[in-house]
Structure 1
Amino acid sequence: MKTYLVLIFFLLISLKSMPQVVSSNGKYFAFRLGPHEDIKKSILKFAKDSKIKAGCIVSAVGSLEQLNIRFANQESAQKKKGHFEIVSLTGTFSDTSSHIHLSVSDSTGITTGGHLMEDNLIYTTLEIIIVELTEVEFTKEKDITYGYSELVIKPRSKQK
């Protein structure tokens, strides 16, 4: 009996550590943001206005006049003014939260990246394509491993 209990215990632990996989169809949106617009505020406003429960960034090309990112495991963000090319913008979001990373290069080609914060202001343009995952929803729940609120992916409940 003890052997079965131990096996069940290890099975339950292994199930908890398995990646959460949920498939979904998607609905794509393409739009352009202009000078001085805030990337994060604009994405979250679009998600809220469109009632997006699960979205991700597919592609983004553009430039910034102000950079504001938080590096890994740091309390505060680093803000810089200048001209930066966006070389990567990736992440997940919903109408209530986001987890987005940004990488940029400066005029010498030096590249840096981190967590997208508010006050990343567009210089000339940001051409962005996002996808709404129409059959799932993203929520955040506290993960006891490190104490952070982490992404939870759930099938979207059928609306009547």
Structure 2
Amino acid sequence: MRTLPIRLHPQQNLRRALEGLASAENIQAGFVLQGIGSLGVAMIRFAGMDQALELRGDMEILTLSGSLSPDGAHLHITVADAQGRVTGGHVAYGCTVRTTAEILVAELPGVQFSREPDAESGCKELVIRGAPPAHA
């Protein structure tokens, strides 16, 4: 496993930056292991919803995790506002770094992720190729 620690700067788009890193580094199967930092704008989509909620103000990233593939990112985040209220869900485009974001990405060599339509869920879901078989 190769790890890539990165730092994002003010005004960078969180999701676009991570997808850009995956593309630039030719990551076929990656995970965001953890992320901390701050956002000035958070675009968070809740489970079962079509549209993201836009939050503005000083927010701390409490957790950031997810998967990266050539098809894009699937990321989850929790943020706390200046009053300590916590909100979490899917990272949508438009999350903007306020001061910094410190993120650790791991690449899984010999593995390829893709997101393909799944008849059971009705969504594009993770497909893993090249991984050893799972143990029951």
Q: Give the TM-score normalised by structure 1.
A: 0.79
Alpha-carbon deviation of 1:96? Answer: 2.3
Q: Is the 8 A contact 1:54 1:94 kept in 2?
A: yes
Amino acid at match of 2:33: V
Q: Output the amino acid matched with 1:140.
A: R
Question: How much does 1:95 deviate?
Answer: 2.5
**CA shift at 1:145, angstroms?**
1.2
What percent identity do the matched residue pairs reach?
34
The aligned residue for residue 37 of structure 1 is 12
Q: 5 Å matches for 1:70-85?
A: 70-85=45-60
Aligned to 2:92: 117
Match of 1:105 in 2: 80
SS in 1 for 2:78: strand
Partner of 1:129: 104
Question: In the alignment, residue 128 of structure 1 is paired with which amino acid?
Answer: I
Structure 1 or 2: larger helix share? 1
Tell me the distance in 2 between the aligned counterparts of 1:139 and 1:94. 6
Counterpart secondary structure, 2:15: helix
**Number of residues paired by the alignment?**
131
Matches of residues 76-95 of structure 1 in structure 2 within 5 Å?
76-95=51-70
User: Does the aligned pair in 2 maintain the 1:48–1:96 contact within 8 Å?
Assistant: no
Answer with 1 or 2: which has the greater Rg.
1
Mapped pair 1:54 → 2:29: yes
Other structure's SS at 1:64 match: strand
Aligned counterparts of 1:99 and 1:59: Cα–Cα separation in 2? 13
- Between structures 1 and 2, the one with greater strand share: 2
Q: Match of 2:19, as an amino acid?
A: L
Cα deviation digits, residues 41-77 of structure 1 (max 9, x gap): 0000010111100000112110000010101100111
**What amino acid sits opposite 1:30 in the alignment?**
P
TM-score normalized with structure 2 length: 0.93
Q: Which runs of 5+ in 2 are unaligned?
A: 132-136
State the AA in 2 paired with 1:68.
M
Runs of 4+ in structure 1 displaced over 3 angstroms? Answer: none
Aligned to 1:140, which of 111, 115, 118? 115
